[in-house]
Amino acid sequence: MSSPDPQVRAARNLADPSPESTPTKNRPRSRGPVVAVTGAATGVGALLTAHLAASDEVRRVMAIDERLGDVPEATWHILDVRDPAIAGKLRGADVVVHLALDLDLETDPAARSAYNVRGTQTVLTAAAAAGVRRVVLCTSAMVYGALPDNDLPLSEDAELRATAEATGVGDLLEIERLGRRAPRAHPGLDVTVVRPAVLVGGTDTALTRYFESPRLLVVAGSRPAWQFCHVDDLVTALEYAALERIDGEFAVGCDGWLEQEEVEELSGVRRMELPSAVALGAAARLHRIGLTPSPAGDLAYTMHPWVVSVSRLHDAGWRPRWSNEEVLAALLEEVEGRHTVAGRRLGRKDATAAGAAGATVALLGTAALVRRARKARRRF
């Protein structure tokens, strides 16, 4: 039998750090809720499943995924969340935490949206049919939108002004719409929405790749502000929602934020400043010809603030274990050795050149990619 995934071990330690209190199948369980977790075999879903399985406040954990995960204390159901048969698997659950989302940069956007939206629709309908009283959805603070006139910080009940131009954000907005409609369509079903800031810890997004670049791209005249959320803190916030200590819509992340100058000082990575038209135009062209996975809309989240207050969690008694400075340090350690220019991962040879020559080579390399793609198209 293979050893548990390091993230799962970390979740178990987070839940109960003392070895002698490690959970076993024979431990008496509380009269707490039965919690079902979708997407339970990987990522945040695996961490939460292990964390809840270690909790004395949870009676039982039902884990749902397309493959078996490494949390034997949970009851596993192997199926696609878009399968209507999931309704039968959810019977007996009090709460469903829906984490079966595909936000991979490399996934075909149409296939990603079909999975995310259809999966959420099916889970909400199935939960209502199974008599579940609460569904917890996890989206992102990106739904507020990154705009130059945003307050610092935004209120959690601020208008959602994001558009579908950034990776996966259109899906998240649709998931939030489905969440708002569900209690009206299914009386008795409560929906809680959790919106993490820039998520760090085993994640690969356009925003984490930003820190893999040889220079940090800064768009001239922009006002970046960075608020992070470590996966450990997201897990405990999701636990609060599953245990019904908090409801409604709320954000989760570190307290406060870092200005761009602080990020550069802490990281030791210098900036590459470009005019807005150049940066956005290049990003749009590279994405259009298929050379980078990130659309130009992703750049807005590195240009404008979208920091959100986490006052609702604070009022419920939750506190983050990580600071923005600590999460940034963890992110830099995690991405060490990876090299990205314009959202595109470079091979070792290209990365060496980019690291040696800095911003100029990065720009020339981007231009070369465009020229290479044009020549390839002319040959056909």
Q: Lowest-confidence range among 38-47, 129-138, 259-268, 275-284?
A: 275-284
Residue 82 in this model has a pLDDT that exceeds 80: yes
Residue 133 in this model has a pLDDT that exceeds 90: yes
Residue of higher predicted confidence among 298 and 361: 298
Residue 20 in this model has a pLDDT that exceeds 50: no
Q: What integer pLDDT is reported at residue 377 of this predicted model? A: 53
Distance CA 233, CA 254 (A): 8
225 strand-pairing partners: 259
- pLDDT band, very low/low/confident/very high, at 372 (cuts 50, 70, 90): low
Residue 234 in this model has a pLDDT that exceeds 60: yes
| Residues 164-181 pLDDT 10s | 999 999 999 999 999 999
Residue 2 in this model has a pLDDT that exceeds 90: no
Q: What integer pLDDT is reported at residue 336 of this predicted model? A: 87
CA atoms within 13 A on the CB side of 156: 19
- pLDDT band, very low/low/confident/very high, at 221 (cuts 50, 70, 90): very high
Distance CA 102, CA 177 (A): 18
Mean pLDDT score across all residues of the chain: 86
Q: What integer pLDDT is reported at residue 150 of this predicted model? A: 98
Distance CA 231, CA 201 (A): 6
Q: Lowest-confidence range among 208-222, 228-242, 289-303, 313-327?
A: 289-303
Residue of higher predicted confidence among 334 and 352: 334
- Determine how β-strand 249-252 pairs with β-strand 340-341: unpaired
Structure tokens at 96: 């469903």
The answer to whether the CB of 123 falls within 8 A of the CB of 135 is yes
Name the one residue in this structure whose structure tokens are 């024979």.
26
Q: What integer pLDDT is reported at residue 7 of this predicted model? A: 45
Name the one residue in this structure whose structure tokens are 């998240």.
172
Residue of higher predicted confidence among 378 and 156: 156
Sign of CA dihedral 23, 51, 83, 34: positive
Q: What integer pLDDT is reported at residue 362 of this predicted model? A: 45
